Amino acid sequence: MESKSYMVQMNGNGVHSNSVHSFNINGDIYSAKMKIHKKRWNIRASEMSKNTLNPIRAIVDGMKLSPNPDKAMIALSIGDPTVFGNLPTDEKVLQAMKDAMDSHKYNGYAPSVGYQKSREAVANFYCSPEAPLEADDVILTSGCSQAIELAISVLCNPGNNILVPCPGFSLYKTLAVSLGIEIKHYNLLPEKSWEIDLQNLESLIDEKTACLVVNNPSNPCGSVYSKEHLQDILAVASRHCIPILADEIYGDMVFPEHTFYSMAPLTNDVPILSCGGLAKRWLVPGWRMGWILIHDRNQAFGQEIREGLVKLSQRILGACTIVQGALEAILNSTPQEFYQDTIGFLKSNSEICFSALSSIPGLNPVRPSGAMYLMVGIEMENFPEFENDVDFTEHLVTEQSVFCLPATAFEYPNYFRIVVTVPEDMMVEACSRIREFCQLHYRPCNQESNDLDQ
Ligand SMILES: *Cc1c(COP(=O)(O)O)cnc(C)c1O
């Protein structure tokens, strides 16, 4: 087992062969006798892996979550619409997958960017006269998450920065930081239904800014931007020549009285990488099908960005081929009623939640217009027992067995996020428990300081 030892003739006749000179190479001790000591295992996780941080995990893992044993747990924290079984995908979507499987045609490698036919189907589905798309403008990826990763990776070098919403989806930061890209948070305004504070946004732009991330409809806010607001955002990007990464995974998931506007058709000069996928609208996040739609303008992206995206797609040969094989049928045969029913449910559940919570002293829910979430402000000064949103939501679990994600996980303290995909009876029960909890802990803030003197 031990390495062979070598005698070194120091002076040519071997007389002084025991004179020892130690030296050290990569942590291994060698002596002049060149006896190589047993190498120690010294395997360290890479810097990149250490710099890959999921803020949601960091917050949740640090919380003491011990539910009240007398009450069944209700988790309003899970952004997966399939967990309670109340929101199945459409039968046509399932059939498309079965057909793709049974055809035996999708067991091999696809081109790294996806099958031509599948990309064509996506291009046709999202094509509009103002923002035409062809198969070559589409790259299929492993979920919208990989689409976002490719988009950030192709636009940014280490040392660049990207602008991301606050509060916002934590993946942008997780990906960027591990790539050595700086994050700058721009503020959303709860009093303006989470519109972007455009002045704040513009003030953050510098010569190192490589990309502006816009998430509409929003996770965690459930907000949906008006056409005018999107045009104002595009005007900022245009003034500073910053390309946009539009995270439109909740595209078209908006309540009936609202309209979803994709960003690309609203501009004729700002290049946009629009990221989307099947996860949310088709309610199949586990299928890991996503895409990037390349909306170039005046060759601002040019061949270079396209080729860069193709090269990056070759790293892991992205999307599952069975789902690719089913994609055309999924997009073209999902009945309108499926989308409408999903939206109807989400709207009704979020109304139940919003109206229940808005009548609770100390809470300020912000009415959502789409997606699957709503944010609730906590008047911390009226809950003096609790330090912050993490503490508040921790106690809500201990006493009422209701878990909501503290918005510190989205870099936005003193709020929590509610997922509205849970069954209606659970939503009603959760809201009544939140009411009980707040009524018990609410202490009206006394503004008159002379009260203390009486
Ligand atoms: C869920 C989600 C994604 C990721 O979608 P996958 O297809 O599951 O990778 C991306 N962006 C936002 C805002 C999301 O909420």
Residue 23 pLDDT: 54
C-alpha–C-alpha distance, residues 172 and 152, integer Å:
8
- The architecture of the domain spanning 91-333 is 3-Layer(aba) Sandwich (3.40)
C-alpha–C-alpha distance, residues 77 and 63, integer Å:
14
121: phi then psi, degrees, rounded to nearest 5: -60, -40
Q: Which pLDDT tens digit goes with each residue over 406-443?
A: 999 999 999 999 999 999 999 999 999 999 999 999 99
**pLDDT above 70 covers what percent of the chain?**
90
Q: Distances from the Cα of 351 to the Cαs of 61, 217, 266, 337, in angstroms?
A: 31, 17, 30, 20
Residue whose C-alpha is closest to residue 173's, from 144, 149, 204, 207: 149
The maximal CA–CA distance of the chain, rounded, in angstroms, is 102
The ligand 1 atom nearest the CA atom of 289: 7
The ligand 1 atom nearest the CA atom of 145: 9
Residue 9 pLDDT: 39
Closest C-alpha to ligand 1, atom 13? 219
Q: Distances from the Cα of 434 to the Cαs of 356, 398, 437, in angstroms?
A: 9, 12, 5
Q: How far is the CA of 371 from the centre of ligand 1 (A)?
A: 11
Q: How far is the CA of 97 from the centre of ligand 1 (A)?
A: 21
Residue 11 pLDDT: 41
Q: How far is the CA of 267 from the centre of ligand 1 (A)?
A: 24
Q: Ligand 1 pocket test: which of 82, 150, 166, 169 has the largest number of ligand atoms within 8 Å of its C-beta?
A: 169
Residue 300 pLDDT: 97
Residue-wise over 383-417: b if at least 16 C-beta within 10 A, else e? beebeebbebbbbbbebbbbbbbbbbbbbbebbbb
C-alpha–C-alpha distance, residues 159 and 206, integer Å:
12
User: Considering the domain 52-79+336-453 in this protein, what is its CATH number?
Assistant: 3.90.1150.10
C-alpha–C-alpha distance, residues 267 and 130, integer Å:
8
Q: How far is the CA of 41 from the centre of ligand 1 (A)?
A: 39
The ligand 1 atom nearest the CA atom of 218: 13
Residue spans of the chain under pLDDT 70: 1-36, 446-454
Residue 31 pLDDT: 54
Pocket of ligand 1 (CB under 6 A): 79, 143-145, 169, 215, 219, 247, 249, 277, 279-280, 285, 290
Sign of CA pseudo-dihedral 433, 437, 440, 442: negative
- Strand pairing report for 289-295 and 138-142: antiparallel
The ligand 1 atom nearest the CA atom of 215: 13
Q: Ligand 1 pocket test: which of 139, 142, 145, 170 has the largest number of ligand atoms within 8 Å of its C-beta?
A: 145
Q: Distances from the Cα of 232 to the Cαs of 116, 161, 235, 266, in angstroms?
A: 35, 21, 5, 10
CATH 3.90.1150.10 range(s) for the chain read: 52-79+336-453
Residue whose C-alpha is closest to residue 185's, from 161, 206, 207, 208: 161
Residue 318 pLDDT: 83
C-alpha–C-alpha distance, residues 125 and 102, integer Å:
25
Q: Ligand 1 pocket test: which of 144, 213, 215 has the largest number of ligand atoms within 8 Å of its C-beta?
A: 144
Closest C-alpha to ligand 1, atom 15? 219
Residue 32 pLDDT: 55
* Contact by Cβ (8 Å): 374, 352: no
CATH 3.40.640.10 range(s) for the chain read: 91-333
